[in-house]
Structure 1
Amino acid sequence: MTTFDDRERAFETKFARDQEVHFRIIARRNRLLGEWAAERMGLTPEETDAYAKAVVQADFEEAGDEDVIRKLAGDLTAANVDISDAEIRAMLNDKAAEARRQFIDSAN
């Protein structure tokens, strides 16, 4: 029975690690997305840092990416930046790839 118990523990450990990695990559993606949006809005470096943190926090409102997209769209529109949801979604994908690369580079 210990072989099965060991396998079960190994799978549980791998699952927990995979979830942690996913969370870190998504948080990094949201931070990069916030920095991009802050640049588009012309925020100062201090404001950019605070805004990027706010975008990361916005992702905890509901499951999925819609809460982040809604925040960015609303804030960019309020700052008179002409942007579509499609552009935000495309940047979300770009920043996800960048965050994944950064995570892999930092692990090596």
Structure 2
Amino acid sequence: MEEKKKYQIQTSPFVVPTDDGKVIKEHFGLASDGNSKISIAHMVAPPGWSEPFQTPEFDEYTFIIKGKKQFIIDNETIVLEAGQSIKVEKNTRLQYSNPFTEACEYIAICLPAFSMDAVNRER
């Protein structure tokens, strides 16, 4: 009887289709391996990128690898730089953007996992 491995190496993350130039590679989560408890994604937001305001039903942790990323959280504007991180609690209205001249590379972790149904983007 073969013993089940107690680890999983992700070598082919799910590349989320986008139409705004943002690169999203989900390593673990609903889209990549069906995990609804957590999602971990590697992202690159191009200069000038932004998303609509949203009120996610999940906690989101962001760690900036390169560049800068702007957050508008409850009408407060926060800019994070490489090496900094933030946790935004679920049910918080916020907007993510990169109004800067350099791409922003970062890791996003959502608990529970990211889903379009739970992000509640404004139109």
TM-score range, shorter chain: under 0.3
User: 1 or 2, which has the higher strand percentage?
Assistant: 2
User: 1 or 2, which has the higher helix percentage?
Assistant: 1
Please report the TM-score for the alignment, with normalisation by the length of structure 1. Answer: 0.28
Greater C-alpha Rg:
1
